[in-house]
Amino acid sequence: METTDYPGDEVFDSAKHTLCCISKEHDIAEVQAIIAILSPSLDFYWKRLVREAITEVETQLGPFDEALAAAEPGERSKVLQDLVVALLLSLRRRMQQPVSASGMALLRRSAISLLTDGAKAIGEPLSLARAPRLVPAAVADLLTMMQGRVELRATEVQQALRGLLTRTELLTMAPVDREVWKARLLALMGAETGSWLPFVIDQWAYRWYNVGSFTAARQSGVIGLIAVATIDAKTSDFCRWVNGRVISMERAQRQVDRHVEAALAGDVRAMMQNWPLLTFAPTDGPAEFAIKFLSVGLPPYHGRCRTRTRTVRL
């Protein structure tokens, strides 16, 4: 991830303090501040990779032009599909390249901030020295989830790109205008980013905030945590139900341990299986919620979940 030079802890903390003051009243201000700090850099990072991938694929346009010229009208979509596959393969390779030093510094500082803020929220100290894998796992988690969106949604992205290209004049244009298809690809990939990148960052930030709370509680000998939902017009029925319920410390410990292992291994499928985002039917009620609660440990429990934890003395 390329960013501007890392501003250092003092500037980071100042920006975070300012953003905390203007965060939404009913959200966790510290988490919202980290999301606001990270989002522009990650958005820039993704769009730069897309531009570079398109530029790389552009070198294949000689054979591409020839194939389109020789193709029958009904075969042009297959040629365009091959071009889309080449773009996705190029993007995947680029996402697997090492992240810059400044990018890693920003991710590490953000992870540390989330973990320590989670600990402060429950009033317990957190020793990262006693949990040395948490910060590397948090950084790996975010990068792996971003890469995983390309891996796991390759078919959907491919279909969307093919659909956009085949609905344009590219099927009939002779010769194909390269600037037109480049603009189409950039626009669609930008829209694709907008649909999932904020979701990934939000999910990641709330997850590691809650990991910080749990780890601090565990280190301090706390034997119980309860879920505390943010109650407002946006609160899901499940989180209203889970509010005040005791979280199994053993189940949460297994969840954190497995997630750390999967993140450090770069196994996005294991990460998603270990920390699933629950989905609900319109008819789901307390009975269904109770069953689903047994399959999870710490929040977030679903997309855009703002539930946190607090200690309970049993």
Kindly give the pairing relationship between strand 225-228 and strand 308-311: antiparallel
- The label of the residue with tokens 């501040």 reads 33
Digit-by-digit pLDDT tens for the chain (314 residues) are 544 445 567 777 777 878 777 666 557 899 999 999 999 989 888 888 888 887 887 776 666 666 666 766 667 667 667 777 777 788 888 888 888 888 999 999 999 999 999 999 999 999 999 999 999 999 999 999 988 776 666 666 666 666 665 555 555 655 556 677 677 777 767 666 667 889 999 999 999 999 999 999 999 999 899 999 999 989 999 999 999 999 999 999 999 999 999 999 999 989 999 999 999 999 999 999 999 999 899 999 999 999 999 998 65
DSSP assignment of 104-118 equals HHHHHHHHHHHHHHH
Find out whether 193 and 53 touch, Cβ atoms under 8 Å: no
Residue 76 burial by CB count (10 A; 0-12/13-18/19+): exposed, middle or buried? buried
Question: What is the C-alpha to C-alpha distance for residues 7 and 138, in angstroms, rounded to an integer?
Answer: 20
Phi, psi at 247, each rounded to 5°: -95, 130
Residues in the chain: 314
The structure tokens listed for 182 are: 């480049």
The structure tokens listed for 100 are: 């810059």
| Alpha helices (H) along 122-242 | 134-152, 154-166, 178-219, 237-242
Question: What is the C-alpha to C-alpha distance for residues 259 and 265, in angstroms, rounded to an integer?
Answer: 10
Question: What is the C-alpha to C-alpha distance for residues 183 and 194, in angstroms, rounded to an integer?
Answer: 17
Phi, psi at 180, each rounded to 5°: -65, -50
For residue 86, the model assigns a pLDDT of 78
Q: Which residue type does 251 have?
A: R
What are the boundaries of each domain within the chain?
9-221
For residue 73, the model assigns a pLDDT of 61
- The angle formed by the CA atoms of residues 236, 241 and 244, to the nearest 5 degrees, is 120
Residue 191 burial by CB count (10 A; 0-12/13-18/19+): exposed, middle or buried? exposed
Q: Which residue type does 89 have?
A: L
CA-based nearest residue to 294, from 242, 231, 225, 243: 242
CA-based nearest residue to 309, from 233, 260, 251: 251
